[in-house]
Each structure stands twice: as structure tokens, then as C-alpha cells.
Amino acid sequence: MTDMFDIFIIGGGINGAGIARDASGRGLRVYLAEKGQVGSATSSWSSKLIHGGLRYLENYEFKLVAESLREREVIIKIAPTITKPLPFVIPHSKKLRSKILIRLGLFLYDNLGGKTKIPKSSKINFKINYTDILQKKFSEGFQYYDVQVDDKKLVEMNIDDAIKMGATIVENRKVINAKRVNHHWEITLDNNQKVNSKALINAAGPWINEIINNVLKVNAKKSIRLVRGSHIITKKLYDEEIAFTLQNDDDRIVFVIPYKDEFSLIGTTEVDVKSPDNPSISDDEKIYLINTINNHFIKQISQEDILDTFSGIRPLIEDFKDASKVTRDYIFDLNLENKNSPLLNIYGGKLTTYRKLSEKVMEELTPYLPNTKTKNWTASKKL
Ligand SMILES: Cc1cc2nc3c(=O)[nH]c(=O)nc-3n(C[C@H](O)[C@H](O)[C@H](O)COP(=O)(O)OP(=O)(O)OC[C@H]3O[C@@H](n4cnc5c(N)ncnc54)[C@H](O)[C@@H]3O)c2cc1C
């Protein structure tokens, strides 16, 4: 019989990379195929934050926020060279959220994640702070902390570790077919190479249903909603090492984040799209982001100030709400048509929760892969 892997992973984004690292460290034989380069899709088009998601508290997503805040703590510890805590300033606007609501949200944000070295939130007076950045109509606001990350590096570091522990990672190889043969999976790559594996994981991010429909040819259990988020990059709009969380009239928020020393990263938007391929920003999105800046900052910008843009597709679990209210949590769909050859489809997720997600994937699959070392290890071992 030809080589048999324990786990085959479709997709080398943060989720696939995290699972490859975790599984290899448990002594499993792992094969990961990525159709482009690892970390080159959604996982490098994010806002580059390891964050609890302050805004999700409005949607009562306490469990997700608590898990994300705990993970924030873990990721700073295991990836200190590519993460950095950053203060986020929220200008208060009477028309939008009340002060009480924001203070309650920040209290929860300070405490839901348990013990932390990250500073707590505070009130801030704009009559003496940031007077040269914010317009005079903002007299007070709040400050809290989140963590900035190099998202692509985070993927690459997980992949490097997986390789060191024996995983096979192939790039520029698309999975074109996967079927159960006897008691295992036979996966076909676009060079017609065939790979055998006991378990199969679909970690294709926004391409998840494309894999389910065209590669696995089974019925999708969940429907997903593809929502584009775009960022613009300008020369830095101010010198301070702080980010802003700007509230818009439509209830959405936009971040302004210091980026690579010289730039400001401004995003994001939410636009429903049909295809996960080749996302790019529309003029309307550019105008929306420019207007957000111009409604808050003294410095006014126009399309000419945009140096670069990038867009990514959020694969959200469809629950027929406004895009900003749809959960950012992940769910698994475990297919056990044959218990010897489990299939796990991963829906949704965030950069922030990839490590915990990977751990839960292993818990889910361990009963079907009896050689798996069960001890969780990724929270304490530096990348
Ligand atoms: C605009 C935006 C901002 C965001 N900001 C944040 C943030 O600040 N913090 C945060 O925590 N989260 C954020 N997120 C969410 C986060 O980026 C995603 O949840 C995460 O990157 C998804 O990772 P993934 O591995 O599931 O998908 P991806 O990174 O898309 O990886 C899936 C991979 O599968 C590959 N693939 C697809 N089909 C095949 C095939 N047939 N064969 C082989 N490979 C295949 C693709 O090429 C791709 O590389 C943001 C998302 C967006 C869109």
C-alpha cells in the first residue's frame, strides 16, 4: 500500500496552518495542500488584530469575546516577535452609543478574559489629548487595548513549526478531488498526484462550500455568507502609536491603525459578494472609509491619499442578519459516513481564535485517530 497520512488539510490559511502544527506535535502524519502560497488569502487580508472583538458584545457574543480575550493572552506569549499591544481610542458621540453602554462594554472587555498584563481601559479627555488629531466636536472618549499582529507571518510560523515536526506542506497545489476509498480518503491534486489519508479537513476559508460542492461532491450542511471587507492605506495620519475605533452612523466601526511605521491602515467595510475569488475594493467602499476619517479627524483626506488597498472575504455562517451582526464564531461539521475516514468542515473563525480552534479540531478527531497524543501543547510552546 502507498503512504498513508493521518490527516490531510485542504488550505494553508491560519486555520489550516494552526491545525498542521498542533497535529504534527501530537505525532500525527500531516499533509497540507495550498492552492496558492500559505497565508496569502484571507489570512493576510485581515485588520491584523488579535482582539476580543469589543463590538461583538453588542450582539451578546460573550462566549466568543471571552475565548478571544483569553487567546489574545496566549498569542502574545507564544508569538512575542510579531505581536504588539496597542491603545485604541474611541471618540464618544452622543448620537450613537451612550457612555454607559460603552463603559459597561469596556468593563466586560477588561474582565471577561481573566488575568492579563494588558492595561485596563480608561476615560480620556480630548480637550487635552489628541487635540491636533480629532475635531473639536469630540470632547471625551475612552481608551482600551488590543494587539496588533503580522497576520501572514503568524501563518508562516505555524507552517514552519509543522514542517520541523515532519508535516508535508505543498504550495501551488490545488485539491481537485477527494473521495472515500475503502476505509480512507484518496485526495487528488491538480498535478494528478494522489495522496491517501485517514482523516480529511476542509480548512478552505471562504472556499469551503466550493470544496464541499465541487471537490467532495457532498451536500453542504450549512450555508455561508461571503462578506467582503476592504482596507485603504494612506501615509500616516498622525505620529502617535495609537489606533482609533471610529463609530459610524450606520452603527459600524472603522479602525485606524498605525501600519509599518510610515502608514495608516483604515478599515473595514462589509459588502455581500457571490464569489470568494479576487476580491478588490469598490469606489463606494473607498468613499465610505474616507468619509469616516473626514467626519472625525482634523486632517481631511481624499482618494488621492490612498496609496494602496486590500480586500478579503469573510466566510460567515449565514444566519440572515445584518452583516455586522452575523457571528464571527466558528463551527464544525463532522461527517462520519465512515468512522475510519472522518471529514471535518470548518465554518467561520477569526485569526485570533485559530489556536483554540486547532485544539478543538484535535479533540474532535482524536476518537478516530487512536495514535494521537491527547495532551494539549500549543498554548505554552513559542512559535
Ligand atoms: C477584512 C477582514 C478583516 C479581518 N480582520 C480580522 C482581525 O483583525 N482579527 C481576526 O482575528 N480576524 C480577522 N478577520 C478574520 C480572519 O482573517 C479569518 O477568519 C481567517 O484569516 C480565516 O482563515 P482561514 O484559514 O479559514 O482562511 P484563508 O486564510 O482564506 O485560507 C484558506 C486557504 O484555502 C486555500 N484553498 C482554497 N481552495 C483550495 C483548494 N481547492 N486546494 C488547496 N487550497 C485551497 C486558499 O488558497 C486559502 O489560502 C478578518 C477577515 C476579513 C475578511
State whether the beta carbon of 228 lies less than 6 angstroms from ligand 1: no
Cβ atoms of 205 and 42 closer than 8 Å: yes
Closest CA to 206 of 272, 141, 111: 272
Closest-CA residue, ligand 1 atom 26, reads: 205
The Cα 359–Cα 378 span in angstroms is 8
Cα 295 to middle of ligand 1, angstroms:
31
Angle at 341 between CA 337 and CA 347, to 5 degrees: 75
Q: Please say if the pLDDT value at position 323 is more than 80.
A: no
The Cα 223–Cα 271 span in angstroms is 17
State whether the beta carbon of 20 lies less than 6 angstroms from ligand 1: no
Cβ atoms of 324 and 251 closer than 8 Å: yes
The helix or strand, by DSSP H or E, that contains position 245, with its residue range, turns out to be strand 243-247
* Residue 62: Cβ within 10 Å count: 12
Q: Which domains does the chain have, with CATH numbers?
A: 4-42+152-222+328-368 (3.50.50.60), 84-148+224-320 (3.30.9.10)
Q: What does the pLDDT read at residue 113?
A: 87
The Cα 201–Cα 30 span in angstroms is 11
Mutational test site, ligand 1, from 69, 150, 207, 275, max ligand atoms within 8 Å of CB? 207
**Neighbouring C-alpha atoms within 13 Å toward the C-beta of 233:** 14
Percent of the chain whose predicted confidence (pLDDT) is above 90: 83
Q: Please say if the pLDDT value at position 1 is more than 70.
A: no
The helix or strand, by DSSP H or E, that contains position 255, with its residue range, turns out to be strand 253-259
Single-letter code of the amino acid located at 100: I
Closest-CA residue, ligand 1 atom 25, reads: 13
State whether the beta carbon of 36 lies less than 6 angstroms from ligand 1: yes
State whether the beta carbon of 351 lies less than 6 angstroms from ligand 1: yes
The Cα 347–Cα 332 span in angstroms is 6
**pLDDT 10s digits, 28-62:** 999 999 999 999 999 999 999 999 888 888 888 88
Closest CA to 159 of 302, 14, 51, 278: 14
Q: What does the pLDDT read at residue 325?
A: 64
Helix H segments across the chain? Answer: 14-25, 62-78, 99-111, 151-164, 208-210, 283-296, 354-365
What is the mean predicted confidence (pLDDT) over 236-249? 96
**pLDDT 10s digits, 69-102:** 999 999 999 999 999 999 999 999 877 788 888 8
